[in-house]
Amino acid sequence: MSRLTRAGVVAVAAVTALLLTGCGDADGGAAQVPGVGEGGSSDTPEPEPEPDDDAANDGVDRPRIELPEGISAVYEGWESEDPTEQRVLSDARAAQNAVDLAIVEHEPQADYVGFYHAAEALVDTEEWIAGFVRNDLTITGTIRYVDPEVTPSGDDQALVAYCADESGAVASDVGTGEEQPDSASPYVAYRNTLQRDDRGVWVTVLVHTERGQCTR
């Protein structure tokens, strides 16, 4: 599997990368962000079912995001007994699924991407997905998202840190199925800033990643 920072996808002609790596602010800080609320093998573990939590029952009409056959996401430890923290985790999880689905469907400006992203994160995410479209690439396999940690910042903002294990997934050519070669680490540390908008959705507004920083 080949990997590259998101900034690199914009700069080079060929995308040889998998997911949202190397983007966002340098320190992952939770600064107030404008624009939120305006206007989303047998050895492979089975994906966890969507959690039955308050985020899915808060009256917000969220898009249903289902990854197609060939690509799956496994979330480990994304449950919390704290209702607010669970809402944050659920929307962060949905935002990640939205990105993965949009890459597979080649839909950078899909409504479900805009539903869960705003401000800088939305611009970066749409451009990142567009890189896959321009280079006729998709992703297959299983990606594991583990060890999430929520750090609140006031009532309407939170930092969500977690690790992605991409070792079970590959980037490949849509037409030929040829896998892209890679020697980079499959582990990525995420530090995403989420902000609760006027709908009550915890929207991802900043994404910061560091490849090789998780050893899961």
Flag whether 123 is in a domain. Answer: yes
Flag whether 17 is in a domain. Answer: yes
Question: In this predicted structure, what is the pLDDT of residue 25?
Answer: 39
CATH classification at residue 154: 3.10.450.50
Is 24 or 105 the better-scoring residue by pLDDT? 105
Flag whether 61 is in a domain. Answer: no
Computed over every residue of the chain, the mean pLDDT equals 80
Q: From the CB of residue 105, how many other CB atoms can be counted at a distance below 10 Å?
A: 15
Residues in the chain: 216
How far is 22 from 19, CA to CA, in rounded Å?
10
pLDDT at 77 > cutoff 80 = yes
- Name the pTM for this structure: 0.79
184 — pLDDT class (breaks 50, 70, 90): confident
Flag whether 202 is in a domain. Answer: yes
Q: What is the DSSP string of 50-108?
A: PP-SGGGGSS--PPP--PPTTEEEEEES---SSHHHHHHHHHHHHHHHHHHHHHHHT-T
Flag whether 62 is in a domain. Answer: no
196 — pLDDT class (breaks 50, 70, 90): very high
Structural domain of 108: 6-44+67-211
pLDDT at 175 > cutoff 80 = yes
The helix, strand and coil proportions of the chain, stated in percent and rounded to the nearest 5, come to 25, 30, 45
18 — pLDDT class (breaks 50, 70, 90): very low
216 — pLDDT class (breaks 50, 70, 90): low
Average pLDDT over residues 174-190: 89
Say if residues 15 and 7 touch (Cβ distance below 8 Å): no
Flag whether 59 is in a domain. Answer: no
Flag whether 60 is in a domain. Answer: no
Q: Which amino acid is at 22?
A: G
Number of domains in the chain: 1
Question: In this predicted structure, what is the pLDDT of residue 69?
Answer: 95
pLDDT at 6 > cutoff 70 = no
Flag whether 51 is in a domain. Answer: no
pLDDT at 11 > cutoff 70 = no
